[in-house]
Chain A
């Protein structure tokens, strides 16, 4: 079964930056679209970003476009999310997910918690 393990979460001040990572194993990482999904405290699930297998085609949710950057390292089976200009609205558990096509999010990791507070 696919395994996805997120890391990099933590406490950051408003306006700060954080880089999340997702290590994947037990599947051919380079053949999958990869996504980030988040859940703010007490809120529902929200899609954040998705990236094509070759790392060229990327899409973002409107509120993070221009502040977040999704990237991948196919040689090291890892996905990243660079988050800049963080606000309290970005505080959430962030999950990475994988799928075979655009929009597919079949498997998700356990998540990493991002707290934005002064």
Chain B
């Protein structure tokens, strides 16, 4: 399954909304109505951090400004009010089928 993110990079003003799109080449929706899609945040010198799983479930401790949505083949990660500490590269990842695949990443910067 090919994962395609857009845009490759975006610059957003502090406090503004950032939206990242992720499209899969095949559906990630299972027969139990779950989407096997996760979102990671990756900062330099740190391990990737899981933010969202099952497309829209926020991991415990992740700020509420991060939200995931979408189903099937189209997904979105939204940062509702960008903070300085959110500067990072964000990746979507599918775990619906083997091989597990990541999107190419979206770099988020401050405008």
Check A61 against B102 for contact (C-beta < 8 Å).
no
A109 to B47, CA, bound (A): 6
A110 to B42, CA, bound (A): 11
Interface of B is mostly: loop
Contact count A vs B, C-beta below 8 Å: 55
Check A59 against B47 for contact (C-beta < 8 Å).
no
Check A45 against B99 for contact (C-beta < 8 Å).
no
The bracket for how many chain B residues form the interface is 20 to 34
Give the shortest distance, in Å, between A45 (CB) and chain B (any CB): 5
Chain A residues whose CB sits within 8 angstroms of the CB of B101 once the complex forms: 47
A102 to B100, CA, bound (A): 10
B residues contacting A by CB (< 8 A) are: 36, 38, 40, 42, 46-50, 53, 59, 89, 91, 93, 95-96, 98-105
A residues contacting B by CB (< 8 A) are: 35, 37, 39, 44-47, 50, 59-62, 95, 102-111
